């Protein structure tokens, strides 16, 4: 989520051209995606702000747009800061767990791989649990280096990038 919306944190609400319809609607589309992500992770304040901002941007209500955008950026940065320590601890715990996993673990079934791909495609948080529960199998499928990058993206909830890495590894494995 954070990586996908990093550019939003650098938008200057005072310099943004809210009067330009195309730019405003492009921003509304990005905020719509952020709203979905924030709802999935339970970031209620960010979800509420993005809901208000999306409506305002689509309607062209210029009066409140700059302030809403300032608030979104502030809350997004706070959420990133507050999540950073948790994500770092999770990364340490998972990497320690992955190092101790037997390399000859049972392989994931085709249906389990398909469920993981679907979860990643739909930004379903169950993808994180599936990766955690099947770390050894996925590592065996992808290789340690690719798995490390893949797992990092999953932990950061950057499911589109994680899916890209997984699919690339699967295609390489089949060839």
Q: Between 43 and 104, whose confidence is greater? A: 43
* Same-domain status, 48 and 117: no
Residue at which a domain ends, from 56, 83, 110: 83
Q: What's the number of domains the chain is made of?
A: 2
Domain membership flag for residue 22: yes
pLDDT averaged over every residue in the chain: 81
Mean pLDDT of 136-161: 87
Domain membership flag for residue 96: no
CB 23 within 8 A of CB 17: yes
Domain membership flag for residue 1: no
Show the tokens assigned to 166.
């997984």
* Same-domain status, 78 and 132: no
* Same-domain status, 67 and 118: no
Which residues form the domain of 113?
Answer: 101-174
Positive or negative CA dihedral for 113, 104, 170, 128? positive
pTM: 0.51
Domain membership flag for residue 92: no
* Same-domain status, 61 and 14: yes
Q: Using the predicted structure, report yes or no on whether residue 90 has a pLDDT greater than 70.
A: no
* Same-domain status, 14 and 53: yes
Domain membership flag for residue 55: yes
Q: Using the predicted structure, report yes or no on whether residue 96 has a pLDDT greater than 90.
A: no
Domain membership flag for residue 90: no
Mean pLDDT of 122-150: 86
Mind listing the pLDDT tens digit for each residue in 45-61?
Answer: 989 999 999 999 999 88
Backbone phi, then psi, for 103, in 5-degree steps? -65, -20
C-alpha to C-alpha distance for 8 and 5, rounded to whole angstroms? 5
Domain membership flag for residue 95: no
Domain membership flag for residue 91: no
Mind listing the pLDDT tens digit for each residue in 104-134?
Answer: 345 677 778 888 889 999 988 888 888 888 8
* Same-domain status, 54 and 107: no
Show the tokens assigned to 145.
């280096």
Share of the chain above pLDDT 70, in %: 81
């Amino acid at each position: 989520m954070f990586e996908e919306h990093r550019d939003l944190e650098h938008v200057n609400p005072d310099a943004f051209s809210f009067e330009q319809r195309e730019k405003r609607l492009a921003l509304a589309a990005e905020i719509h995606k952020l709203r979905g992500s924030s709802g999935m992770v339970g970031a209620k304040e960010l979800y509420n702000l993005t809901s208000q901002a999306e409506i305002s941007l689509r309607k062209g209500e210029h009066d409140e747009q700059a302030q809403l955008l300032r608030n979104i950026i502030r809350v997004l940065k706070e959420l990133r800061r507050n999540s950073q320590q948790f994500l770092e601890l999770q990364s340490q715990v998972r990497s320690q767990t992955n190092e101790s996993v037997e390399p000859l673990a049972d392989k994931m079934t085709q249906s389990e791989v398909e469920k993981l791909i679907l979860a990643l495609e739909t930004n379903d948080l169950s993808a994180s649990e599936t990766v955690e529960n099947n770390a050894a199998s996925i590592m065996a499928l992808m290789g340690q280096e690719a798995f490390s990058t893949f797992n990092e993206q999953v932990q950061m909830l950057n499911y589109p990038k994680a899916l890209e890495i997984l699919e690339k590894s699967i295609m390489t494995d089949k060839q």
